[in-house]
Structure 1
């Protein structure tokens, strides 16, 4: 089976939820699944140490937030070239290259002595993550034997597990030194590299030159499909809320590195559980778009509550954990919609969507830090909530371009 298959699972006749057990997958899928867990542990590992970095490197919250901005900005742009690279190197080599780049830059980050070198190294980390994330999604969806949507659920579950375990480990390592999580990521990437090298069969890897090469212009050509652009811009808008929570909430919780680790452990566990068990049921009962809008509205309300009661510690902690459930549902719903939104290769659809959504992820963390410095700690959450609500209005205003996503489920 070709990794670049552009018709199976993405045509207008393919149902969103096909028959087949979620757990009955080829070894190659489980190899990528395991590597995804370790790769996404990297994001959560860093979150509990933001305050420690600010303190020990004498940085402001907005400067520390640039660790997310450089990461997401480089990842957004790099997403546009992942398809061209993977079609030339093959999926397995691209995944391994991404892992190596993450390991190198996370290790160098752990050895750095200033906030600005660390910000630059996080950008390199973002490049590696772009190569890995976009390619991993394509690999799991295409190699899965259980259908597109269940494969996406598996992918989102790996993200959730990685994000939930990461803060726990990051909190423990960060309580020793802020450098610990960076060096820990490098070590975990070595494990991911070896597991993928051994467990992913060579027979499943397309050889360079035997598949049509993806052009660098393909993602831009794909943007003529309004459905892809609508979903990408929607994700860009709600990512303002997502990364406000991720990058700024630690500064108002008043917890230690270990305490932050446990809070984001709860957040990630709910994200993983809802993405696997709840999102499919919501989609089947209410439809993708209605369910997505409902989750986004609830997330906006959650952020607004954080903005109003910012100084109430227990409420902020509870709101962060609850947000995991809302984001877990939404991530699965919107990713499923993207994979079935347009008749283009999955890797190209993923590149367009990821490019647009990570633009929001690049601006939001720095904006949140600056808003707090300019005004007060309440404003970043309120502004994040406004952007999330705007994403709902944007979806509803362009609903006609997304109706086919739900029609596909019933085979219309």
Structure 2
């Protein structure tokens, strides 16, 4: 039974603070792709070998990796906005210095400084966008994903166009655009509260003692080794100019963005995280082996690089999600530990590839990269049980997610409840109140399930609300309904991953408690977000054995038909 359906709030109707950070995200995501089209030009103009030019990646990524260990401590001490501003300022300065440099060694050094700024920025950007968003986090996540897609796709194109003028163009282009983003961030982003607990620089390293996090981190290290081998060395055998290279990597970037945002969640929902990652890593290994075997044929390399974007987009999303699924530590700490290992792999790969290419030939680094993709498969398999347990909530291994946590009195057995599912948005109270009247009409107890979601976008993961905020929201519902003459209980569903996965968990829970019906409000996220990461309501409707009642949280619901009420009352007796 569905109530009237209003129009979901547009994800693009956001405060200026969100737009300021989103613009900076576009430029940040351009970072690597912007430089790729000018690699051959750098080698020619500065009389450097490909192995020397590859150090642009190594210095940038290794410094980013080490900095990931301290960004959590830095942000907890100085605040998210200040961390963001410092990161942007560092990028502006070192990107400009790289553009003025006259030697490859100078550019490599300045790229290291750029990596420090990048670490400070990426560790806080998603959290700042979510905290500054209006009308719930869903629109902010869509905006962040849009910025990601634009940056990845447009970066190589802009780099190719500016690189046609001069290899210095992309560096100065980043400096100018980031300076604009810096001014906008200073002007529009408000000061945000600091975390109650200050983290330690040692927390990420201590977190790696947990087997699940270490296993996924090593897998990510091997994956990024192969990835950055391709990114750092594939431009040379293509034998293209900067403009043409920009077009090739734009095609690659479009596939990365599309498969990361739209296809990865759907493949995961159908086949599970581990099976998709196994197939994906195998596919990447084959692609890199094809590049190695066809390194003397530019067309083979071009097609293989573009196609690799699909695999890379899937891997980027699901690897981060796998880390968050098995990690028993706080999200920022897990992200820092994971980032440290993955960026180390990405930083070492171009350096080693250069040494191998100088000592042998250009195909050998690609064969090694293919081998690292394949080696990541047994590493992932060693943590398969933990990952599978986390997805299916079997109670094995590390603390799992999704997890239902009672708030107040635990639900009592014996009477079939009506379950109402809500999130942290403005329409939650209306949905709960409607479900309460429905429970009264059917003589059922009411169980409120508040979904606390962890958003995962590329390598970033952020809790959309704290545990205290989720608990306070459920408590407010319980207090408001205390005067009703029906038993009311509350629970929090902590979920990592797509919304469809949460819907399936709720359907399983409803079956376990013998729920008479499930009431759920219309999603405020809109059709684009639901297409990207799945619809909780759709998954719930397909998987649930009981009646699912849809109500609109933004409008006064229509009353249930007498036929539906009669059916549910008959079930109660």
The CA distance in 1 between the partners of 2:10 and 2:344, in whole Å, is 32
**CA contact under 8 A between 1:219 and 1:351: conserved in structure 2?**
yes
Indicate yes or no: 2:104 matched with 1:115: yes
Q: 5+ unaligned residues in a row in structure 1: which ranges?
A: 1-19
The CA distance in 2 between the partners of 1:22 and 1:37, in whole Å, is 20
The corresponding residue for 1:264 is 249
The corresponding residue for 1:5 is none
Question: Secondary structure at the residue paired with 1:402?
Answer: helix
**CA contact under 8 A between 1:109 and 1:118: conserved in structure 2?**
yes
The corresponding residue for 2:164 is 175
Q: 5+ unaligned residues in a row in structure 2: which ranges?
A: 1-7, 393-401, 403-500, 509-573
The CA distance in 1 between the partners of 2:131 and 2:329, in whole Å, is 13
Per-residue deviation, 1:57: 1.0
Question: Secondary structure at the residue paired with 1:340?
Answer: helix
Name the one with the larger strand percent: 2
Equivalent residue in structure 1 for 2:79, among 71, 81, 90: 90
User: CA 1:175–1:256 in 2, change beyond 3 Å: closer, same or farther?
Assistant: same
The CA distance in 1 between the partners of 2:280 and 2:384, in whole Å, is 16
Indicate yes or no: 2:381 matched with 1:396: yes
Per-residue deviation, 1:140: 4.8
The CA distance in 1 between the partners of 2:210 and 2:386, in whole Å, is 9
Indicate yes or no: 2:234 matched with 1:249: yes
Name the one with the larger helix percent: 1
**CA contact under 8 A between 1:160 and 1:328: conserved in structure 2?**
no
RMSD over aligned CA atoms reads 2.2
The CA distance in 2 between the partners of 1:302 and 1:289, in whole Å, is 20
**CA contact under 8 A between 1:307 and 1:381: conserved in structure 2?**
yes
The structure showing larger relative contact order (alpha-carbon pairs under 8 Å, at least 6 residues apart) is 1
The normalised TM-score by structure 2 is 0.64
User: CA 1:47–1:240 in 2, change beyond 3 Å: closer, same or farther?
Assistant: same
The CA distance in 1 between the partners of 2:188 and 2:277, in whole Å, is 35
- CA offsets, 1:308-335, max 9 Å, x none? 1111211211111111111111111112
The CA distance in 1 between the partners of 2:274 and 2:89, in whole Å, is 37
Question: Highest Rg: 1 or 2?
Answer: 2
Indicate yes or no: 2:262 matched with 1:273: no
The CA distance in 2 between the partners of 1:183 and 1:37, in whole Å, is 16
User: CA 1:399–1:317 in 2, change beyond 3 Å: closer, same or farther?
Assistant: same
Equivalent residue in structure 1 for 2:152, among 163, 166, 170: 163
Indicate yes or no: 2:325 matched with 1:336: no
- CA offsets, 1:358-404, max 9 Å, x none? 11111111122222221112111111000011011110122123223
The CA distance in 1 between the partners of 2:240 and 2:154, in whole Å, is 18
The CA distance in 2 between the partners of 1:252 and 1:41, in whole Å, is 23
The corresponding residue for 1:206 is 193
**CA contact under 8 A between 1:244 and 1:384: conserved in structure 2?**
yes
Per-residue deviation, 1:344: 2.1
The CA distance in 2 between the partners of 1:173 and 1:334, in whole Å, is 33
Indicate yes or no: 2:218 matched with 1:233: yes
The corresponding residue for 1:301 is 286
User: CA 1:153–1:366 in 2, change beyond 3 Å: closer, same or farther?
Assistant: farther
